Amino acid sequence: VAGIALAARTHNDENRLADVLHRLLEEDPCLTLEANAATRETVLRGLSDQHLRSTLDKMRERYRLEVDTRPPRIAYRETLQARAEGHYRHKKQTGGAGQFGEVHLRVEPLERGAGFEFASEVVGGAIPGQFIPAVEKGVREACASGAIAGYPVVDVRVVVTDGKHHPVDSKEVAFATAGREAFLAAIREARPVVLEPIVDLDVQIPQDAMGSVTGDLSGRRGRILGTRTLNAGRVAVVAQAPLAELDDYPARLKAMTGGSGGYTLELARYEAVPPAVQKELIAQYRPRAEDA
């Protein structure tokens, strides 16, 4: 399966793009459309790069619609490796009614795939009960935006442990802000890591291309799990590899097999990226965060 991210070139083209894609999907059942919330992209998927190119040609020639295209972004995630605590006091006074909220919380790692958990251990009314949902809202907002590289934080348990309020100035917005900032402070002390998608690959190739194909995968952080014999002098290579290393895989496989190779892939799991890759992703995120 090949994929490409699409974007309308003008605001006026956005509705037209949705309509044209709907028609193309009705005409061709081998096309699928994916709205990726994590990367904020619309991704068109087809059988091959050639299949997608012919679809874009049809979009341009039949419907007179030009779109911007790029390889789909990788849906990275962030998580933590240790337990940590954080706190934040939000205090704002502008001459009239002020804002005040203070939150102390703890973050704990969960098993991969467990998602998000939120709990409160606050006693004695340090944070009135009506403000706890606002704290959770702030924490969830921070989870969605990421802590170190701008990717959603997953597999974390957040426990609110203490705080302070003001009888007049405490408001939901103050506790949402305090919750968000306390969470970010805790995550940065919890050995945060970036996770990347690892995919299962099944690559069908001529026997004489096996050395090139396995060497190429191994050189791109792939792991060869085995092979199996097919008919007519062909073999299948079973492997796992980071999705980030497979952006141009259709073209590489075509070059290595003379156009006679094919492959399928599906998501296997998420795992931590190597330190050098994490450093690069964080460096890429900082300019975007400063511009936001």
CATH class of 2-70: alpha beta
Q: What is the pTM of this model?
A: 0.82
- How confident is the model over 164-191, as pLDDT tens digits? 999 989 999 999 999 999 999 999 999 9
Instruction: Tell me how far apart the alpha carbons of residues 76 and 239 are, in angstroms, rounded to a whole number.
Output: 20
- Domain 78-191, CATH number (from 2.60.40.1930, 3.30.230.10, 1.10.3720.10, 2.60.40.420): 3.30.230.10
Amino acid at 280: E
Tell me if 179 sits within 8 A of 161, measured CB to CB.
no
At residue 50, the pLDDT reads: 84
Please enumerate in sequence order all residues whose Cβ is within 8 A of that of 249, keeping only pairs 6 or more positions apart, or say none.
263
Low-confidence ranges of the chain (pLDDT < 70): 1, 95, 287-292
* Continuous segment of H or E residues that includes residue 53: helix 49-63
Written as one string, the DSSP assignment of 1-28 is -EEEEEEESSHHHHHHHHHHHHHHHHH-
At residue 290, the pLDDT reads: 58
- For the chain, the structural domain boundaries read 2-70, 78-191, 195-275
Same fold? 2-70, 195-275: yes
Instruction: Tell me how far apart the alpha carbons of residues 84 and 81 are, in angstroms, rounded to a whole number.
Output: 10
- Reference 102, options 8, 20, 185, 32; nearest CA is 185
Q: Which CATH architecture has domain 195-275?
A: 2-Layer Sandwich (3.30)
